[in-house]
Structure 1
Amino acid sequence: MTMPVSALHKTSAAAVTSLAVVVGLFTAAPWSAANAATATDGLAPAPAARVVSLGGGAEVALTPLGDTGATSLAPLPGADGTTPGLVVATSNTGTTVQTTDAASTPTMIDGHAALLDTSAADAVPLHFSAVGRDGRPAQAYITVFDLEHGAAWTRQMATDPAPGNECSEATFARTTCVLIPPGEYSVMAFVTTLPAQKPTIGASRTFQNISLVGEPETTVGGERTFAFDARDARQLTITTPGRSTKVPPQGAMLIGYDRAAADGSAIHLDMRPAYLLDQHFYLQPTPQVSIGTFQARTRARLEAPDIALTAPTAPTLHPEYVDPTWFSDVSSDFPVVNGRSRLPVVDVGRATAADLAGQQLHGALALVTHSADMSIAEQSNNAAAHGAGLVVIRNDGPGDISDPGGTGVKLQVPTIRLNRAEGLALAHLPEAAMVTVEGEPVSPYVYDLYLKEKDRIPEDPTYVALLGQLATQERQVYGQPTLPSTFSESAYPWQPGNSFVVSTLFPFKGGPRTRTEYRIPDPDTAWNYAVFAPESPYNAMFPKTPVLPMNLAMPGRHAYSVREQDQLPFGRAPIMAAPNPARPVQRTGDQLRVAVDGFTDADGNHGTEYTHPSGVHTHLEIRADGALIGETDNLPSGTVRLPGGESRVSISFTADNPQAWTELSTHTDTAWTFPSTTTAGGAPEIQPLLLPDYDVGVDLHNRVQADLQGRVAFDLRLRRADGIPSTPAGEPTIDASYDDGATWRPADVIRSTDGWRVELPAGSGLVSLRLHAEDTGGSVVDQTVVRAFDVVH
């Protein structure tokens, strides 16, 4: 059965409190004792982060995000520099998290463990086995859920080491058996098929694929055996009429399900794999449930195919780049194909010195047979040294190549993997046959699809993503005027009741540009998006100067509707300091909460800037009637106690950002001054800070074209925080400088319909701005930004 995407607009599972995982959302600073805000002269810092060990050496960092109720949870890199996959389980009592490593155990990060009544005299054993899609014994994460009372048991089966067979009533165990009372149950498992050649890099990171199998509703009346067979699952397939697409590496982002019991208690399971070799999820069809609710969820990202090979007489080829994590830290370190070419094929065996002796491979595709005695990097770079412009590594055994044989060496030319059968087809091409190679490193479009199936899994999980039924976003990502700009990105799909959400960080390739994005309209999926500049490293093999990235997250969340079209700019200059929109400056009694985001772009996307070893220095200072109340050079977030009654409060934030990746907003200085008084009854009140909004017609490199007289004009508006009544503002003054603030000249300011039109004095180059504005309510803002944007002729 082929289903249009619009058929997926289903109601979510029963409304219960659900916690999942957020990675990097709201751009909180990464966990580090050195980054924790320190209390100075009365400033109480925001809650500190904590690191939780999940067993097997794996750790995650939990960072409270002010008093928003949200917490960021990010897996920390392991000894090899890579971050693992995650399994998150949420019940009505709490949330546990573990990595996909077989040694990891469920660790409570929120709430408390459920108290189970294990005294049932009539408890019966359930025995489990698991088979992968290749027919071999498989790893499985099994959850047994009581559909009457909401109790849950977890069994983890790993092929190495082999699980025990003892039967117990424990809520979690690495065994093939559980004791439970007779009744109605959901018995489901994530079955992970390992690569055909077991990888030495660790099964926790690289799987062949993942299947969701089992019975969401079944009767247990006596001893039973559940055989979870991934071969019974069907491949989830998405077609995109009008666009050529494929799932890129790490594009199969999430597989999970929700199961609610008759009494409304529920459990939510999510698995985010670190890396799948074939980038597919598989779902076993199920009957419709009759007790409670059931919902299966998957998330997949599709892009234009990054690499394609076609050859005469050869079958359809399915090339994939070797996993870049083992050969690079950022995408620019990893060579890829860009464009179309036709190359002859030269079979160079295993690319040893003897195999390559006398070979001249210039302008050729080197076909290399994978060897367990050599690393992929050594084989590929040997061929590159003899002139090969492209290397194809074909497997010498069944399945896909999963083991790089060594890491920490950069590849010199694009390197692609093929399985044994497809590699042999290339080796047996007719003499003088040419292979067509096509590479698209920068996809002009992305499908980010969160798929839901309610009450059952269909016989055919095939979906058609019709453009006319999707929401469309035009994403504009802005960069630096003359410096090369790199980015990473992540989108976060929040579900009803979530306090956290799991996502994946991708390189945003191609520098500053506009890209089209498609999402499924769904009122129950609210999206948030973040951009990171420069690109965030995905490994740490090649030491670089430490960098504080500019993290910009969109304010709030947005659920998209059918055929909705949006323009979503990120990084548009000028970038200033502003209060965090999720945590506006607020007074409760005599306690003042302050959270300033030093990275706030012209469209309100925001992120934290703080003192960092890269050379960034920030200073937050709070005064009442001129007296210093609190200050910090670290995270600009915390609370202070103000004097009782009325006072005039000033919050000033200064940031110096001398990092090599940026030439804009190298120095900013903002001071907000406003009247404040003890709140009635201790109720919280948002304070009346005056906030400037700049609307400058910059291009994607944050440049403005001056007119024939060398002048630039832009719009300025002044407002207060949401929820605070506005008061009339007097005419602001703006000065401009073209020499980094050494000298200043006044701009012309003319009132417009909803603000002011500002015309800068003639000049060219990186322009700095200095603003002074006040309103009749006593609020004042003074703001300076050095190198706000670039004026060009």
Structure 2
Amino acid sequence: MATQGFVPAAASSATAPFVTAKSGDGGRVAWVTLVTGDRALVRGSGTRADVVVDPAPRFGVTQFQQFSRGGDRYVLPGDAAGLVRAGVLDLELFNVTGLVRQGYDDAHSASVPLLVQYTKGRAAAGASKSAGATVRRLLPGVALMALDEKKATASQFWTQTLTVAGDGAAGSTGSGARRLSNGIGRVWLNGKVWANLDQSVPQVGAPAAWSRGLTGAGITVAVLDTGVDTDHPDLVGRVGPTKDFSGKGNVEDGNGHGTHVASTVGGVGAASQGAYKGVAPGARLAVGKVLDDTGFGTFDSVIAGMQWAAAESGAKVVNMSLGAGRSDGTDPVSVAVNELTRQHGTLFVISAGNSGVDEAVSSPAVADEALAVASVSKSDRLSDFSSRGPRIGDGALKPDVAAPGEDIVAARPANIPPLGEPVGDGYQRLNGTSMAAPHVAGAAALLAQQHPDWTAGRLKAALMSTAAEVTEVSPYAVGAGRVDVARATSQPVTALGSVSTYLPWPNQGVVKRQTLTWRNTGTAPVTLALAARLTRRDGEPAPVGLLSLAADTVTIPAGSDASVQVTITAQDKTAAGQYFGVLTARSSNGTVSTRTALSVYQEEEKYELTVNLIDRDGNAPTSSFALLVDLDRVENNHLVAHGEKIRVPRGRYALHGNISTHRDGQEPTVSLISHPELQLDRDAVQTLDARVGKPMSITTDNLAARGGEHSVGMVSKISDCSCTYSMYAELDARFGAVFAATVPGTSSTSFLFLQSRQAYEPRLELFAQTAQPFEVPALWVNESPPAGRGALPVVYGGAGTPEDLAKIDARGKLVLFQVPEGIAWEEILLRTAAIKDAGGEMAMVTLADPALAGLAGGENPMTDPALPTMVGVGPTVQRFVDVVKAESTQASYVSTPVPNLRYELAYGAEHQLNTDQVHQPKTRDLFAVRAAYHDNAVNAVHSVAAVPGFAETIGGGISWFLPVHAGRERTEYFTPGTWEMFEQAGPSNIAIERLRFEAGRYYDIAWNKAVAGPSLRGVVENVSNRPLAWRKDDAIDVILPMFADSAGRPRMPWTAVGDSGSISLYRNGQHAGTVPVPDTAVFEVPDAVADYRLVAEADRKVEWWPLSTKVTAVWTFRSSAADDGNALPMLTARFDPAVDLQNRAPVGGDFSFPVYVERQDKETVDVTAFTVDVSYDDGRTWRPAIVRAVRDHWKISVNHTATGFVSLRAKATDAEGNTVEQTVLRAYEIGGTAGRRGAF
């Protein structure tokens, strides 16, 4: 499992300022484009985030899984599942909440950052020449290439460059199975990295080593961090080679983290008269700036710095006070640590991380060869923030050692704000494992000076074995103990290696033996008494007999080695679990002492499950899979292929199978077969047989609405996290067939079945007019395809080459041509141009690779084909090709690029599924929604989607976003029930409303209607399960939707690319802080009651947003810590003028419209004063509008004497003294004719 991003591992500073300000999480609403080209709308964070998937174009069945792991939510497409399962494609590429957290959502990144391991030079060359990606960096030392995959062409890059059509690899689904392109060995997310003394230096024993003449002289220590202040007195003359990997152009530290770390390693203490001297003041420092001045970097920048440090800088030791998310050690940076250590003998000392929880040691500290460092206080107590082990995946012991990381005083750069508490003129106090690691790196330099011939492994072993005990703390938190370089450099005996034993189930009575060795470099033999102690992670002692020693003493001859055998004997199953401890070896006088870390994992009760899959013809499918889901433990889920055996802990499981069945000349069927709750208490075989599947379909009585996607899903609710695992299949309702069922006789309260259908006119209908006409699945390639209907003779044009075209008469015909795998899209465009030159009317290309359907529908931003061009793939298309080759054929087509109809239909079942689910609702029985789509641009195309309300219980679903012409009204139909409605108008600019529909009733809804402005109530979609603006502990925490529409629907994400602005807070008239974003902020404030003024300003100057170009709001209210958890009493004014579908009001005469004064914490508000001013010159001059109260709102009157734009300014006060003043420049336009529907 790969990691999620790197951090300088610094925890909070020792003291906090009076008030601090930072941007908030923004409600976690974001579009995320995946490496496959699929998009996910992510709302919320963590395992219960709501995710709606908008799939990339594919032929045949589109399949997805949604699940939770490690506190995040994942969306895994079926055509990537096999590659993830094979371990060659990073699962973190599909961690949608993790991608948002790292800033890789679409609002913040136009590309998907990848790290590609290449095995052949031509793979690197091919990827680097692709139009779909930009090479960020080549890392030949570790055979990696950093690529930025352009999101606009992600589907194309995925199918043409990164992968090719597979061969039914286990774990991938249907015709979409993929394999990595030749020469590509593995693909990871290029994740983010971010940055994770006077008592502390003596604490690790440095002065004693100095007294022996050891200062690190002659040793180079590389510091990979945010750079250094090269002019700091403590570092002048100590810095050797430097190199920037952050893009800044130099290594000067604009953050402060790197300078602090570097001076802890080797600062001379000149600015403090030696008080804050580093551990190895004689060492030379090589500085690699791998993190930018904000403290962030990427995997590739860190790996590049590591490669330079190990191969070019001359460093014997490398300090990396940075980290990413937890990892099992297979992420690219951890792999690079191991590889570079083996290549160059470099010791990498790496901070463990600052999560403060178990099983959370971060990458790359989890690497086998890394010396991972935890943090302790100056009294040798475990720091609360220090990340604990063991390593996820295999339970290996990490971290390896500990060192002081609390209240560490070290150098601070001049002329930048301090990260922590300033100490004197040139220092600051910081906390974190970032501060602990450089103590160990300095200690390693002292030891390396003493033993210049020692390898990295020998240095690591010596520092671990001579560590001091950290009392009352398990080794899984501090490893062997706190580093003691005084002992490491003085005693002649070192313990080599450690004990890490795995006892797989069944294991009672199983015996494993391991030999431990001690090395004596002294001139006299040394006898040591041995004692071992193991405890569970909960502190309980290990059962007697689990670990024993062959001897209770060992004598190591001078200049030689001696060994003792350790025996591990598995006990009964009640002893299952992980044990950690230390083997101590002490001389009688205590002058020699070593510590060896111990780790034993007696596996819990596990059983083998064999999974068999059978298709509807009774055969074993070649490219189908099952998802095994632990119903009680969130982390335990597995993709399983037909015939595969898998060992899992005893417990309750669901097994969901996705089985494809081939059909000659037709699209394959898909069958979702589930055992909803399998009790696994012995070895078992479970068969999922597609032949028990029941037909699934949804159709309407409107024959024109025969197009659209049909989606089915199996869902399991997980008790451990109140979250769900789901598996979906989606296909064009016109082709293929869907079957589903639970295994006969089974049921579970954890099981849900969902079925939905979007029905509309097909965007393209193509029929082969043969003796038995049949429909051919095809998509337009053109971004703006023709609309209408027609019929053409069809001719087969071979591969579309000039030689093939010379053999046919293309004039006035549809030319059908086939291209083999590996043909670049640019070449296909050239062939369509040749068809046009030959007189062809239309073209259709058929592809060897089904996933190249991603090139259709405007997904390819390069030049459109020279003539209307379709694309098709699959068995039905091959049947069409065969017919055209064999006989003269006509084809008819109907093209509706933007459908006019819309039906959203959904049904579900619980516990079990054993009957047909064939639904044929009549239009009159559905709920009718009269929808109006507003937009200032006459020809704008919006997109819409809907998710049935019961999908809320499963964390989202699949929904295609359908195009709709703006500036029009239409009636849309829904099955009764609750729906979440999505409407996107402009890039990443989406509005959401949850509605409940009842059969036979109508509902009016207006999307994207002016006036856009602040809304904290209205129709607010808030996934944070908290008020948008609230008092939380000692913070004013606000999310400010500044561009909500006239109904109060915020557009999400709260801001769009190109937005600018700020939020400022004033407390009792004093400025408390400002953040440079207009949508979210968190201000830490004192507990006492105070008067607050919150000022927000948002500017949106982009071509697609001509109205509400500048929105400001000033709120006043009172708050104290007593209001914890409550919404702030903030008012807003919501304007709702009767504008036309272009958001224009009529010109001439008086114009009146309602205004609603709302307060987020109350249904009604007692307004004591309300005024509105109007401006016709973009706010340069203002005049009062006529305002009068009307029942639950206010009505204002203005005068429209000329065309132009109207700006509005409202001021309101309520009975409690809360106020708001909000201003919207260019609120709406004058110049239209508002109709009757305009005000709804």
Helix, strand or coil for the counterpart of 1:420?
Answer: helix
- Alpha-carbon contact 1:86-1:99 (below 8 Å) kept: yes
Q: Which residue is 2:801 aligned to?
A: 352
Deviations 1:560-600 (A, max 9, x none): 33334322222110111233743332235653221101220
Q: Which residue is 2:865 aligned to?
A: 411
State the distance in 1 between where 2:920 and 2:609 align. Answer: 39
Q: Greater relative contact order (Cα 8 A, min sep 6): structure 1 or 2?
A: 1
In the superposition, relative to structure 1, how do residues 550 and 574 fare at CA in structure 2: closer, same or farther (>3 Å)? Answer: same
Q: Does 1:388 align with 2:830?
A: no
Q: Which residue is 1:175 aligned to?
A: none
In the superposition, relative to structure 1, how do residues 185 and 785 fare at CA in structure 2: closer, same or farther (>3 Å)? Answer: closer
Cα shift at 1:628: 1.6
Q: Which residue is 1:9 aligned to?
A: none
- Alpha-carbon contact 2:609-2:647 (below 8 Å) kept: no
Taking only the aligned residue pairs, the percentage that are identical comes to 19
Q: 2:1071 aligns with which of 628, 633, 640?
A: 628
Amino acid of the structure 1 residue aligned with 2:1029: V
In the superposition, relative to structure 1, how do residues 731 and 321 fare at CA in structure 2: closer, same or farther (>3 Å)? Answer: same
TM-score w.r.t. the length of structure 2 is 0.48
Q: 1:586 aligns with which of 1025, 1030, 1036?
A: 1030
Deviations 1:307-329 (A, max 9, x none): 2234654433323334x7xx6xx
In the superposition, relative to structure 1, how do residues 61 and 238 fare at CA in structure 2: closer, same or farther (>3 Å)? Answer: closer
Q: 1:729 aligns with which of 1151, 1168, 1171?
A: 1168
Deviations 1:522-553 (A, max 9, x none): 4xxx4322322325xxxxxxxxxxxxx43322
Greater mean alpha carbon deviation, residues 298-307 or residues 718-727:
718-727
Q: Does 1:500 align with 2:955?
A: yes
Q: Does 1:299 align with 2:299?
A: no
- Alpha-carbon contact 1:550-1:609 (below 8 Å) kept: yes
Amino acid of the structure 1 residue aligned with 2:800: A
Q: Which residue is 1:568 aligned to?
A: 1005
Q: Which residue is 2:1050 aligned to?
A: 606
State the distance in 1 between where 2:972 and 2:55 align. Answer: 30
Q: Which residue is 1:480 aligned to?
A: 936
Deviations 1:75-133 (A, max 9, x none): 9999x9xxx96422469999766453213257898999999x96689976442333556
In the superposition, relative to structure 1, how do residues 718 and 70 fare at CA in structure 2: closer, same or farther (>3 Å)? Answer: farther
Helix, strand or coil for the counterpart of 2:804?
Answer: helix
Deviations 1:650-675 (A, max 9, x none): 222212211112211112222222x3
In the superposition, relative to structure 1, how do residues 776 and 622 fare at CA in structure 2: closer, same or farther (>3 Å)? Answer: same
Cα shift at 1:212: 0.9
Task: Supply the RMSD in Å over aligned alpha carbons.
Answer: 4.9
Helix, strand or coil for the counterpart of 1:382?
Answer: helix
In the superposition, relative to structure 1, how do residues 296 and 416 fare at CA in structure 2: closer, same or farther (>3 Å)? Answer: same
Q: Which residue is 2:83 aligned to?
A: 103
- Alpha-carbon contact 1:130-1:138 (below 8 Å) kept: no
Q: Which residue is 2:597 aligned to?
A: none
In the superposition, relative to structure 1, how do residues 638 and 357 fare at CA in structure 2: closer, same or farther (>3 Å)? Answer: same
Cα shift at 1:301: 2.0
- Alpha-carbon contact 1:209-1:276 (below 8 Å) kept: no
- Alpha-carbon contact 1:350-1:370 (below 8 Å) kept: yes
Amino acid of the structure 2 residue aligned with 1:46: G
Q: Which residue is 1:25 aligned to?
A: none
Q: Which residue is 2:1126 aligned to?
A: 685
State the distance in 1 between where 2:820 and 2:40 align. Answer: 38
In the superposition, relative to structure 1, how do residues 766 and 389 fare at CA in structure 2: closer, same or farther (>3 Å)? Answer: farther
Q: Does 1:655 align with 2:1098?
A: yes
Deviations 1:578-625 (A, max 9, x none): 33743332235653221101220001110357777x542121122233
Helix, strand or coil for the counterpart of 2:1077?
Answer: coil
Q: 1:211 aligns with which of 652, 671, 693?
A: 671
- Alpha-carbon contact 1:598-1:608 (below 8 Å) kept: no
Q: Does 1:697 align with 2:1151?
A: no
Cα shift at 1:702: 0.9
Q: 1:244 aligns with which of 684, 696, 704?
A: 704
Q: Which of the pair has more CA radius of gyration? A: 2
Q: Does 1:766 align with 2:1210?
A: no
Q: 1:191 aligns with which of 659, 664, 680?
A: 659
Gaps of 5+ in 1: 1-30, 34-38, 172-179, 198-206, 328-332, 536-548
Cα shift at 1:506: 1.6
Q: 1:130 aligns with which of 602, 606, 613?
A: 613
- Alpha-carbon contact 1:377-1:404 (below 8 Å) kept: no
State the distance in 1 between where 2:42 and 2:748 align. Answer: 37
State the distance in 2 between where 1:273 and 1:668 align. Answer: 43
Cα shift at 1:700: 1.7
In the superposition, relative to structure 1, how do residues 589 and 373 fare at CA in structure 2: closer, same or farther (>3 Å)? Answer: closer
In the superposition, relative to structure 1, how do residues 240 and 494 fare at CA in structure 2: closer, same or farther (>3 Å)? Answer: closer
- Alpha-carbon contact 1:734-1:749 (below 8 Å) kept: no
Q: Does 1:717 align with 2:1161?
A: no
- Alpha-carbon contact 1:41-1:631 (below 8 Å) kept: no
Q: Which residue is 1:471 aligned to?
A: 927
In the superposition, relative to structure 1, how do residues 656 and 518 fare at CA in structure 2: closer, same or farther (>3 Å)? Answer: same
State the distance in 2 between where 1:208 and 1:219 align. Answer: 32
Amino acid of the structure 1 residue aligned with 2:1130: L
State the distance in 2 between where 1:240 and 1:96 align. Answer: 33
Deviations 1:57-86 (A, max 9, x none): 9999997849x99646689999x9xxx964
Q: Does 1:45 align with 2:23?
A: yes
Amino acid of the structure 2 residue aligned with 1:189: G
Instruction: Output aligned runs, 1:211-360, within 5 Å.
Output: 211-216=671-676, 225-230=685-690, 233-248=693-708, 251-258=709-716, 268-272=724-728, 278=735, 280-284=737-741, 286-287=743-744, 289=746, 292=749, 294-310=751-767, 312-322=769-779, 334-357=783-806
Amino acid of the structure 2 residue aligned with 1:520: T
Helix, strand or coil for the counterpart of 1:443?
Answer: coil
State the distance in 2 between where 1:77 and 1:767 align. Answer: 40
Deviations 1:381-438 (A, max 9, x none): 4324444343234579xxx9554698775434241435122344456666xx864321
- Alpha-carbon contact 2:1039-2:1079 (below 8 Å) kept: yes
State the distance in 2 between where 1:481 and 1:501 align. Answer: 32
In the superposition, relative to structure 1, how do residues 378 and 311 fare at CA in structure 2: closer, same or farther (>3 Å)? Answer: same
Amino acid of the structure 2 residue aligned with 1:623: Y
Q: Which residue is 1:437 aligned to?
A: 893
In the superposition, relative to structure 1, how do residues 391 and 448 fare at CA in structure 2: closer, same or farther (>3 Å)? Answer: same
In the superposition, relative to structure 1, how do residues 420 and 658 fare at CA in structure 2: closer, same or farther (>3 Å)? Answer: same
In the superposition, relative to structure 1, how do residues 486 and 195 fare at CA in structure 2: closer, same or farther (>3 Å)? Answer: farther
Helix, strand or coil for the counterpart of 2:835?
Answer: helix
State the distance in 1 between where 2:767 and 2:40 align. Answer: 45
In the superposition, relative to structure 1, how do residues 336 and 721 fare at CA in structure 2: closer, same or farther (>3 Å)? Answer: same
